[in-house]
Structure 1
């Protein structure tokens, strides 16, 4: 049985950055707020224009049933309707390893944020004043609280190791500190739980890709490009029809109802929504 070596800090940080980028590729669509606002106005148009009250206006603009069907088809594609269900199942499956890693690191970070300061103040209470500075200084040598992120997987194991060594240390008051920590909630069960989380994090091989991550990213990038291409086709056609209706004698009320008035755009898609 071989023992896996702990990853270097640089590898861990690089892995965290890469997984974050991959997640963003998987979760985001390649449409900005302006594009989504246009789709919102177009949805209003598509829902309202079949009404009999716009029959004469449609005839003047040359808008026929086949044009309506074409615009609906382009709208579905521009909204991402071309993406099969299996693609979304793949996104959820491929995103799981990244979510688990974030959860583990967050748990280690919470443990450190809780027990590093608690350990210090308990030592200051238990260890006599004339021995306190030496005791605290030795225990926390090269042990500092880390910002949330991959470095906690190095600082937390070191903290656990030193806490456990208090039980066997010959230094005066070391066992007293260990007992006080357990009384305050740092139980063997909690230590075992943190050990398990550390094992999960360190069990991941940061030197290689997570299985499926490259494929997931490639699928997401391809889907983004396809979505953008479909949107640009729809945008051009919708703009054409918008101009056709505006120049066909549409009243301001009709333009409002159809979502073709720029003054309505902000009400249809409020800023910051």
Structure 2
């Protein structure tokens, strides 16, 4: 007797293809800051002190478990850098030094820009004050020829370097009032020592020292 077709079991559906989990991108290299280290220290003290007999009893009543405790230590060790390769640590170091280098360059440019913002206008004012009226315009045009204040950035290195070269040329200049301009600037604080400080900043900004 033929078997009733209703007794047949349905054929199993084909298995869905297994998709491999997406690869997790490696965490970017990061140097621990002082606040990070203090936080990790507090975590370590918590995990160590909670094992006290009196404390762990109260923690268990609040749902604190052995699994959570082990998880806490695992996270603390990972955050502290345990298991990181030496190559990874070298990458962190190099990135940190690069960041420091950029910060130092910015600091130098800001110091040079501050000098420019102060002494360019002062020099114009001194020229107007001490150079004979008949020669003021010609003197100003000659001293500031192709020389203008620059926005904060690498351009201040060139503008301030040129400014200092023009200052060096004042004692040798035949323009009326040149000596008076230089001596007045010195009286106002632009001394040889101040010039030397700025020249040192320029050398550092160019990467010629340090």
Task: Give the TM interval when normalised to the shorter protein.
Answer: 0.5 to 0.7
Q: Conserved in 1, the CA contact under 8 Å of 2:170 and 2:179?
A: yes
1:139 positional shift: 1.6
Q: Which runs of 5+ in 1 are unaligned?
A: 1-24, 30-35, 206-273
Note the alpha carbon deviations across 1:192-240, whole angstroms, 9 max, x for none.
22222222222459xxxxxxxxxxxxxxxxxxxxxxxxxxxxxxxxxxx
Note the alpha carbon deviations across 1:16-72, whole angstroms, 9 max, x for none.
xxxxxxxxx86699xxxxxx9xx9xxx7xx7789653443452xxxx6313321233
Identify if the C-alpha distance between structure 1 residues 89 and 28 changes in structure 2 by more than 3 Å, giving closer, same or farther.
closer
Q: Which residue of 2 aligns with 1:107?
A: 111
Matched, 1:175 2:176: no
Q: Which runs of 4+ in 1 moved over 2 A?
A: 25-29, 46-58, 74-77, 83-104, 128-131, 199-205
Alignment of 1:225-264 (within 5 A): none
Q: Which residue of 2 aligns with 1:118?
A: 122
Q: Which residue of 2 aligns with 1:151?
A: 155
Note the alpha carbon deviations across 1:121-150, whole angstroms, 9 max, x for none.
111111233322222122222211112221
Q: Conserved in 1, the CA contact under 8 Å of 2:132 and 2:176?
A: no
Q: Which runs of 5+ in 2 are unaligned?
A: 1-28
1:94 positional shift: 5.0
Q: Conserved in 1, the CA contact under 8 Å of 2:31 and 2:93?
A: no
- Cα distance in structure 2, aligned partners of 1:26 and 1:134: 57
The structure with more radius of gyration: 2
Q: Which residue of 2 aligns with 1:225?
A: none
Highest RCO, 1 vs 2 (Cα 8 Å, sep ≥ 6): 1
Q: Conserved in 1, the CA contact under 8 Å of 2:117 and 2:149?
A: yes
Corresponding residue SS for 1:144:
coil
- Cα distance in structure 2, aligned partners of 1:199 and 1:68: 56
- Cα distance in structure 2, aligned partners of 1:167 and 1:26: 54
Alignment of 1:71-90 (within 5 A): 71-77=72-78, 80-82=79-81
Corresponding residue SS for 1:172:
coil
Q: How many residues align?
A: 162
Higher helix share: 1
TM-score (ref. length: structure 2): 0.61
Identify if the C-alpha distance between structure 1 residues 72 and 28 changes in structure 2 by more than 3 Å, giving closer, same or farther.
closer
TM-score (ref. length: structure 1): 0.49
- Cα distance in structure 2, aligned partners of 1:179 and 1:91: 47
- Cα distance in structure 1, aligned partners of 2:155 and 2:142: 21
Identify if the C-alpha distance between structure 1 residues 54 and 183 changes in structure 2 by more than 3 Å, giving closer, same or farther.
closer
1:92 positional shift: 5.6
